[in-house]
Amino acid sequence: MGSNKVVNKDDSQTATETQQTTETAERVVITANEMVPVPEPSEYNFFTERELEKILANLDTLRDDVYPSTGAEPEHSAANHSFPSVCLIGLGRCGSNIALEVATLVYRARSYYLNEFKTQETQRIEKDGRPLRWIRRRLHLNAENTLKPIFLIEPIVMLGDLDKDIAGRIRYSSRTEDGKFLENYTKMKIMDLSEVHAGGAGNAPILGQYLAKIILNKDTEKFSNQDWKFIHSYLIDSCGIKANQSRLYFYIFSAGGGTGSGMASEFGLAQQYAYMRKTFEIRPNDTLDDDRHRSFVFEPIFTSGICILPNISNQQASVSEALHINAGRLLCKYLSEEWDFSYNYEDEAESEASVMQRIRPWNAMMLISNDIMRYAEETDDGKIEDIDVNSMEKYANQYISQQIFNILTAQAVTTDYDENYFRRAGIDIGETIRLDANDLFMSLAGPVAVAYAESVVPHQEATFGDKHHNIDVDDLFYRSIELPHFNKDTQAIEGISLLPIESQRYRAALEKYKSNSYDASALNDLHFFKNCSSIVSIVSLPKDFKLSYVDLNRLKSHLNALFPNTTLKRYALVIGTSANLSLTTLVAKSPCLSDDFITLIVSYIKRCFAKDKYRYEETLDKTLIDMIKAEEFDESKIDQLVNVYESPAKILDTNWFAIKPMYEKKYRELIRDDSKFQSINDIRLSSENIKKTIRYLREIYRHRISRTKILSLSE
């Protein structure tokens, strides 16, 4: 992978000296035929704790902190607790805010539950805004019924930022204004990384990525912050082993910033590196132990990035071009890694070296466009010119929180819930069809978009045979794929997380789809739907509501018609965790063919790679589109248009060559091992990354399925 290039020390020094005689502060001149080195497994340099005793001791310490002793009987001690099945990792300002939002909602839901929903404190919290109104309506907290659906999954939440005052920012956030949250929500941990860097990444992802490398390559025992080694053992060293029961990891970050987009993929790669290496680790029989907390039994995990894309098409507000470039870099890096992992079989082998060269940061990357959140404001009695950035961010935060809630409830195991939940709610767990980590691992890969809608159902104690529930399934499905909009009945933001095509064209296609009695031919020829390889649909029902087979089949018919070429369709049915009927559809791979996705990648390539004469005209734009569509891929065209390596100086309005040695000096001082040194030049993306990205886009563009043909021995 070009994004993890490592050269030996002498070569790196020679290359640097050569560059200094041929480069200006703005342009990197390297011959087009220069080879991009391919990393060996050991050259990732990620630190992983190899000693099992230390890993288990660190996990026990974290477990004691997550489940503090309450003086209860020994059987209720922390040692007998399992880690939650889900972990949220919020990175950067945007990512940590969203993860904090989810944690706060979970905490407040639990407060309602434990206080019978009647305390003055919860009534005060009720005024906090739309996200909480949505959760209260979703959980039916206003109803007078004795049996209430309630969401009680409590994920572990890790918050990290290259900011010296992240703890203060969170402590004094309005989300934690009741003063009890940080004290009571022991499952939330702050990753204080300020001893490595305390001043942010300056809106440059390559700096965020390099700083993350320093953090992840340094021996955890050498951090002054003792909590880091416990978090590191949980997040990286122990992922997939029996002593760590967490199986789903969601990395939440903004693609347009420097810290989140730079750090997130590096943290994901470190976790995948540690996880994949375990698959090749054979331990002697005499070291195996069947004890629950000591066993090294290996199990699948599912990891997903939740990526917030910047505004693109909003003409009323001028958005920094750097946000587009930063997001394009992240997408280009991710697709090239995904190509290597999923489709690059030219050098296929079962050896450890072959597999470890092709790791990717996450199993899937969920895409949520900040740009389309403005449509929710448009439909909520607001004028688009009056929308501010904070409002859009709040909408995006709520939308993401909704999707995380739905995915968590779809895969949650009974141990994730309060022990009295099912008894009090009267729910038959046998009726639930859930998704486990392996289901998601097998069903979702690459870029993923979300379609979401929900409907209020009348609260009735009647069973299915007694009364007919009037739910318009056609309308529910239609609202899930619309442009984002605010549902005043449910306080939810509905719609699709990434527009398939430009908004006006998509509106027209939707109107035609609805006016023609939901004839999918108006939409299913769009690449977003036509080239989708797999979908996962999650239907959430209130406890007393039964969805008829007619309605369920109607939903499936809509999905089959809209996504004609899906190879795999998975369904989850979740009962009792919501007061509303909701539909979540996760769309895999084809979102990379959407207008926004392609636009961001091309904006990055033009700014940071293109040779000077192609930077401000349309030759490169048209050529890249043609290369995706063409039957044969002529890689030589890439070499004619772009330089071999990206130039970070194109993003930063300063002298890149004055910044580079500052960060490399920090690397040498914090990791005092010359064999582990990596120049920041080594993590630049290359033209090879562009070629792999285009190959991935070509693969999805050509996705087809062959209909099963009935064969017979009879005439």
Of all residues in the chain, what percent carry a pLDDT higher than 90? Answer: 29
CA distance 444 to 441: 6
Q: 285-291 long-range CB contacts below 8 Å, 24 or more apart?
A: 287/52
Q: Model confidence at 26, in pLDDT bands (50, 70, 90)?
A: very low
Q: Mean pLDDT across the stretch 79-107? A: 81
Residue 479 in contact with residue 622, Cβ under 8 Å? no
Residue 324 in contact with residue 256, Cβ under 8 Å? yes
Q: Model confidence at 435, in pLDDT bands (50, 70, 90)?
A: low
258 Cβ partners below 8 Å, 6+ apart?
A: 92, 200, 201, 202, 203, 204, 205, 207, 208, 326
Q: Model confidence at 377, in pLDDT bands (50, 70, 90)?
A: low
Q: Model confidence at 21, in pLDDT bands (50, 70, 90)?
A: very low
CA distance 195 to 227: 13
Q: Which residue has the tokens 């899937």?
A: 364
Q: What is the mean pLDDT of the chain?
A: 76
**Of 704 and 579, more confident:** 704
CA distance 10 to 14: 6
Q: Model confidence at 317, in pLDDT bands (50, 70, 90)?
A: very low
Please give the pLDDT value at position 526: 95
DSSP one-letter code for 36: P
**Of 383 and 86, more confident:** 86
Residue 485 in contact with residue 341, Cβ under 8 Å? no
> Over 60: is that where the pLDDT of 203 sits?
yes
> Over 80: is that where the pLDDT of 7 sits?
no
Q: Mean pLDDT across the stretch 152-163? A: 80
> Over 70: is that where the pLDDT of 290 sits?
no
385 Cβ partners below 8 Å, 6+ apart?
A: 316
CA distance 139 to 102: 15
Q: Which residue has the tokens 């929180």?
A: 401
> Over 70: is that where the pLDDT of 112 sits?
no
Question: Do the bridges between strand 302-309 and strand 248-254 make them parallel or antiparallel, or are there none, so unpaired?
Answer: parallel
Helices 259-279, 321-342: inter-axial angle, 10-degree rounding: 10
Q: Which pLDDT tens digit goes with each residue over 349-372?
A: 556 666 777 889 999 999 988 776
How many C-beta atoms lie closer than 10 Å to residue 264's C-beta?
A: 33
**Of 648 and 559, more confident:** 559
Q: Mean pLDDT across the stretch 226-239? A: 93
Q: Which pLDDT tens digit goes with each residue over 291-304?
A: 544 555 678 888 99
> Over 70: is that where the pLDDT of 28 sits?
no
438 Cβ partners below 8 Å, 6+ apart?
A: 300, 302
673 Cβ partners below 8 Å, 6+ apart?
A: none
**Range from 264-273, 342-351, 423-432 carrying the lowest mean pLDDT:** 423-432
Of all residues in the chain, what percent carry a pLDDT higher than 70? Answer: 69
**Chain mean position to CA 546:** 32
DSSP one-letter code for 247: -
CA distance 269 to 263: 10
* Structure-token pair, residue 136: 């209260």
Per the DSSP assignment, residues forming a β-bridge with 398 are: none
CA distance 403 to 584: 8
**Of 437 and 51, more confident:** 51
How many C-beta atoms lie closer than 10 Å to residue 440's C-beta?
A: 26
577 Cβ partners below 8 Å, 6+ apart?
A: 149, 150, 151, 409, 540
**Chain mean position to CA 409:** 17
Per the DSSP assignment, residues forming a β-bridge with 575 are: 541
**Of 213 and 140, more confident:** 213
Please give the pLDDT value at position 415: 54
Q: Model confidence at 650, in pLDDT bands (50, 70, 90)?
A: confident
Of 347, 260, 345, 251, nearest to 301 (Cα)? 251
CA distance 166 to 205: 19
How many C-beta atoms lie closer than 10 Å to residue 657's C-beta?
A: 15
> Over 60: is that where the pLDDT of 659 sits?
yes
> Over 90: is that where the pLDDT of 579 sits?
no
Please give the pLDDT value at position 338: 94
> Over 70: is that where the pLDDT of 150 sits?
no
Q: Mean pLDDT across the stretch 151-179? A: 70
Residue 372 in contact with residue 450, Cβ under 8 Å? no
Residue 518 region, left (φ>0) first, then alpha (ψ -120 to 50), else beta?
Answer: left
For residue 494, the surrounding DSSP H or E stretch is strand 492-496
Please give the pLDDT value at position 116: 47
CA distance 654 to 645: 19
Q: Model confidence at 125, in pLDDT bands (50, 70, 90)?
A: very low
CA distance 480 to 503: 16
Please give the pLDDT value at position 597: 94
Q: Model confidence at 76, in pLDDT bands (50, 70, 90)?
A: very low
Q: Model confidence at 559, in pLDDT bands (50, 70, 90)?
A: very high
CA distance 710 to 698: 31
* Structure-token pair, residue 375: 């449509």
Please give the pLDDT value at position 626: 94
**Range from 261-270, 399-408, 582-591 carrying the lowest mean pLDDT:** 399-408
Q: Which pLDDT tens digit goes with each residue over 404-428?
A: 767 766 655 555 555 554 555 454 5
* Structure-token pair, residue 35: 């080879």
CA distance 584 to 578: 13
Q: What is the phi/psi pair of residue 281, to 5°?
A: -95, 115
**Of 654 and 641, more confident:** 641
> Over 50: is that where the pLDDT of 344 sits?
yes
* Structure-token pair, residue 101: 């939002």
**Range from 265-274, 384-393, 458-467, 495-504 carrying the lowest mean pLDDT:** 458-467
> Over 80: is that where the pLDDT of 536 sits?
yes
79 Cβ partners below 8 Å, 6+ apart?
A: 60, 63, 293
Of 68, 659, 84, nearest to 412 (Cα)? 84
Please give the pLDDT value at position 520: 92
Please give the pLDDT value at position 259: 84
CA distance 411 to 586: 14
Please give the pLDDT value at position 31: 34
* Structure-token pair, residue 702: 């050509």
Please give the pLDDT value at position 29: 35
CA distance 414 to 405: 16
* Strand runs labelled E in 310-373: 364-369
Please give the pLDDT value at position 648: 82
Please give the pLDDT value at position 312: 76
